[in-house]
Amino acid sequence: MSVPPNPIFNANRVKLGVMAFNCSHGSTVTTVPEAWPMTWEGNLALARLADAAGFEALLPVGRWKGYGGASNFNHRSFETFTWAAAVGAMTRHAAILATAHAPLVHPVTAAKQAATIDHVTGGRFVLNLVCGWFKDEFEMFGAEWRDHDRRYEHAAEWLALVRRLWTADAAFDWDGEFFRGRALWSQPKPVQPGGPPVMNAGSSPVGQRFSASHCDMNFVMLRQKSRDADQAQIAHLKTMAAGQGRASRCWIHAYVVCRDTEREARAALERYVVAQGDDEAVTNMLRIFGMESETLEPGVMDAFRFHFKAGHGGYPLVGTPEQIVEQIEALSAIGVDGLLLSWVDYLAECRQWIDRVLPLMEQAGQREPFTMGAAKRAPMPP
């Protein structure tokens, strides 16, 4: 049976996704009343809206507890594999991701869950692999807390075992450093030959090497020091992957504030970040990122405080629809392949994006017009 290429690899120069809408407040650390309340009805409505507009990816965040503060940011969340199966059954086009924390999900379980969702979606599943950084969540599971570099060694074996389960024609034994098992087997195999593609957000030097060596996409947190620095960061990641014989794609998270005028957009941003941002929650987040993930240097973290409240450290797309499309063009020029978007009011602002930004992206040659079932797709990557 011929399987169409995963939509996450289609021919659009700038691919689009929506992220974090399986969690309360999504990506905005704020107390404004319109912040995302996170209901199943809202999740399903947003997923169908983005899917019908041709978005390539729907990404849930793996979260088990909140960050405190007045908002207790992300304290309510849907588990990502069951979420992906349900959303996948209700959509037709977009790639559906699930986020797996390698130390918290056994690879035999993850391999079966991923294969199940790949069948539900007809080959649209993508695995977002996280190596672990939120120590408070590990304590909920009583899971072993490894040092930073060791987590990536564990994840490499975890992923190798999952991929073996996806492809092995016969039962096999596994005697690794972290996992052991006898007569391991998983059936049915995924719909996608060789198994679903894998995304990873490794940002430290060790994380970047892991992503380049083992994954198909890097979920990049741009440092935002300068355009040249961002371009160098993307180029470095792609060069590392090419050196491993892999064609890695670079996606970023972007938070969006789009209004009729730039002044209105800046005022809206100021309102939800400065006037009503949750400083206690974001302080907790920055402490965890700095102490646990080694993602950002201490000096950079202070500069990111605003961006964490605005959109979990994402890249700002702020202004009129025309200005936002210009900003996207600049991101594409430095090598960004895809944008995972978030808003304060996901449903209303996603509709606004579809109505006012998406047509301008098509006019700029960033995307092709979309018709369900007739989207142009590039060949599967090597």
Residue 278 pLDDT exceeds 70: yes
Residue 28 pLDDT exceeds 60: yes
Percent of the chain with pLDDT over 90: 73
User: Tell me, what DSSP letter sits at residue 10?
Assistant: B
Q: At 138, phi and psi to the nearest 5?
A: -60, -35
CA angle 289, 292, 297 (to 5 degrees): 55
Distance of CA 214 to the CA centre of its chain: 17
Q: How many CB atoms are located within 10 Å of the residue 195 CB? A: 22
Alpha-carbon distance of 250 to 216, in angstroms, equals: 9
Residue 203 pLDDT exceeds 70: yes
Tens of pLDDT, residue by residue over 56-81, are 999 999 988 888 899 999 999 999 99
User: CA of 292: how far to CAs of 117, 137, 143, 284, in Å?
Assistant: 31, 12, 15, 12
Tens of pLDDT, residue by residue over 322-343, are 999 999 999 999 999 999 999 9
Q: Does the domain spanning 7-363 belong to CATH 3.20.20.30?
A: yes
**Torsional sign, CA 190, 194, 200, 204:** positive
Distance of CA 140 to the CA centre of its chain: 23
Q: Name the residue ranges covered by the structural domains of the chain.
A: 7-363
Alpha-carbon distance of 382 to 375, in angstroms, equals: 21
* Encoded amino acid at 266, one letter: R
Tens of pLDDT, residue by residue over 293-314, are 455 565 665 667 888 899 988 9
Residue 135 pLDDT exceeds 80: no
Give mean pLDDT, residues 32-61: 97
Residue 292 has a pLDDT of 43
* Encoded amino acid at 327, one letter: Q
Average pLDDT, the chain: 91
Residue 171 pLDDT exceeds 50: yes
